[in-house]
Every structure is written in C-alpha cells, then in structure tokens.
Amino acid sequence: MSAGAALPPSWSRARVGSVGTVVTGSTPSTGDRSNYGHEFLFVSPGDLGRTKYVTASGKMLSARGFSRSRRVPAGSTLFVCIGSTIGKVGLAGRALATNQQINAVVPAGQVDPEFLYYAVSALSPLVRERAGEQAVPLVNKTEFAAFEIALPSLPEQRLIAESLSDVDALMSVIERMLAKKQAIKLGMTQHLLTNSTRPAGRTDPQADVRLGEISASITKGATPTTYGFAWESSGIPFLRSECVSERGLDMRQSMFISPAAHHALRRSRIADGDILMTITGYVGRVVRLVNTGEANINQHIARVRIKDGRFDPGYVYHYLSQHAMREYYESIVTGQAYPQISLAQVRNTGVPALPHDEQRAIAAALDDADGELTVLRRRLTKAQQVKQGMMRQLLTGRTRLPAQENAVTAV
C-alpha cells in the first residue's frame, strides 16, 4: 500500500491485520440439518449494508452449527471481500458467524471498535478498485489484512467515532420517517386505487378502458447504434431501463447521443407528461416525466402518452405504478432468462374509468405523498454526503476534533 497523504504528527499508519485479527468466515455443512436453527446469527453479504449494526440474518445456526463455525464477538467489523457486493460493511451487534465471503476484523486493544468500523468502511472504494482487476471481484484475507488505515490516539478515535455515530443516528431517524411515509402512501394507494373485485390490470368490460384506447401512442424506443449513430460523452440524454427506478427517474444512469441522432430517432423522443414503463428485466417500473427536457429512450422502455380528456394523466400514472400492477405484469411475462412484456400487453391494460374529478383528487393526494417522500430522500442524501465528507476529513487527520466540538448539526 502507498504511504498516502501526510498525517498529523501524533498519528500513524497501521495495517488492518495489525490492529485486529482477521477472520474469514466458513459455512457449516448444509447436508447436516442439525447445524441450522434459530439461535445464532449466520451472516452473509445480503445481511450487510442496511444498517450499521448487524443484529439479524436471513439464516440462523443452531448451537451445534455455531460451535463448528468461525465465531466473532460483538464489536467486530464485517467486510464483504468477494462477489458483486464487495465492500459492504457492518458492525457485529452480537456474537455471530459469517460465511466465507466475509472477512471479520476482531479489534485489538489499541483500536476502538466503532472507529475501526468507520476506518475500514473508508477502504471500500479502494478494495473494490483492487478487486475489479479480476474476472471475479476478490480480495483474499492476506490482501485485505495489508490495507492500511490512519490511526490516531485512542481518545481521538473515540471522539471521531462518536461524531460519525451522531450522523448515523440522524440518518436512522430519517430512514424510519421515510419507511413510515412509504407505508402510509402504500395504504393510501391501496385505499384509493385498489378494486378488490378483480386483479389489477385485467380489464372489466363494463367499467374499464384499455390503456391503448386513451393514449396518443404507446411505443418503445430504439438503440442509436442500430441506425449508425455513436454514443457521445455529452449531448442529449439517452435513457436506459436503469433510469426508470423505484424512486423515480434517475438521470445518473443515462447515456448521451448527438442532436442529429435525437432528431432522427423520432419514435424514441420523450416529452413532459409522458409515462415511461420498463418492459424488459424488472418489468412494470413506472415514472412520470416532469421538467425532464429533451431526451430519448431505448427499446426496453415503453412510452405512454395519454390523450383522452376523460383521463387525468396523473391518475393513470399512479394507477400503473401501484404494487398490484407490478405483480400483474410480472405474472404475464414471457422468457425466463430475460423477462419481458409486449407493447400489446401494455396497450391491453385496463384502467378504471372513474369520474374525472375523483381521478384528479386521487392524483393530487398521491402527488402530495410523493412530494413528502422526495423531501425525506433529499434529506437522507444530504446526510449521507455530510457523512462522507466528515469521514474524508476526520479519518485522515485533515480536520481535528476537539473534545468539546464533537456534536453534529442536524441536516
């Protein structure tokens, strides 16, 4: 490892393996069912990343299985060292065991367990970069133990850990508020939109109108390279299916094409008010475009443009975005390796023909709920950015933290 930037005189550099014992997990025999039960945590990569402290796991071990595992005590830092989720980190909230994809660092006396968690978390980008040089992302135990962290005195470690823990506590509050608001919106959606007499999406000839009948067009995009246009480093945004996310339109996932390609690919152009739906992969994800500007979509996205004055576009969007609709589309996909739905199936989707005033009221109520969720998500993103900035400053000694100034201002 490189020496890195200069540290304060009282700090030193230390290898991960020198400040704690690195333990690679193992999996008790799955052929012996007595190894598994409900008594002890058996942590895998999927159990990390949701919260700082790891206090639950998808699989559990019996006392027999736990005795045959490589056990680590509470306060150990858990780090995924192989696979697509390499770099995920957690702090053991109780004694537990892990599988072989996780290296645990059991802290020695010269390092505070909470500080070590943050210091090792800061290594994640570097570990991912190193692992990415291989076909299967992997950093073995010896390589992982050789990564270096900056090490202040034990009292200063504790001050740094307390400050970063304050930010984590703030983020936890926001996450709980977000989960509560999401549950409230789900209840509102079910109350306002769910017709219990029939499954969502299936047309009731007496009450519903097909989506294709109320749309000016339902079409899908095209790939520019098919028509001889190259990708650009900047220009007109080109939306991939990843842009249609669970939380709305994610422009960070877009690519770019030239104005000439945008002009030529007329059918893939989008406009404000359009509803976009993924029709391959994770089918049925829906977003509504507001102040998006010029952009194009690929062939994995269907564009729905409502024209019928009897239907409020916001109401149609919320109807299509409810969880019941996702389940409906997933039930009619074709192809197992690459699930997809056709434009004909999208056009055939039934939409309840409620009175227009009722549609607008439903759309307004759900728009308000979405607005509250957006505010909370922005607060959470800001808190995450604050934490990252603090980690860069505090864990390198660029900013020193006096004992009386370790409080975090609310975001």
Summarised one tens digit per residue, pLDDT across range 300-320 is 999 999 999 999 999 999 999
The answer to whether 123 touches 40, Cβ cutoff 8 Å, is no
Output the pTM of the full model. 0.78
Cα→Cα distances 110→24, 77, 152, 156, 230, Å: 22, 15, 10, 12, 56
DSSP 134: S
In the CATH scheme, what is the code of domain 190-357? 3.90.220.20
Q: What is the pLDDT of residue 373?
A: 94
pLDDT digits (tens, 9 = 90+) for 326-370: 999 999 999 878 899 999 999 999 999 999 999 999 999 999 999
**Do 190-357 and 12-151 have the same topology in CATH?**
yes
pLDDT at 274: 94
d(CA 90, CA 113): 12
For the domain with range 12-151, which CATH number is right: 3.40.50.2300, 3.40.50.970, 3.90.220.20, 3.40.630.30?
3.90.220.20
**Sheet of 275-278, strand order:** 215-220, 301-306, 275-278, 286-288
Distance from first CA to last CA of the chain, Å, rounded?
36
Give the domain ranges of the chain.
12-151, 190-357
d(CA 269, CA 101): 44
For residue 246, what are the contacts with CB-CB under 8 A and spacing of at least 6? 285
Q: CA of 244: how far to CAs of 176, 221, 368, in Å? A: 25, 14, 20
Pinpoint the alpha helices (H) of 152-285: 154-193, 259-264
pLDDT given at position 117: 98
Task: Give the model's pLDDT for residue 1.
Answer: 42
Cα–Cα distance measured from residue 101 to residue 70, given in angstroms and rounded to the nearest whole number: 13
Q: Which residues of the chain have pLDDT under 50?
A: 1-3, 196-198, 404-410
pLDDT of amino acid 201: 54
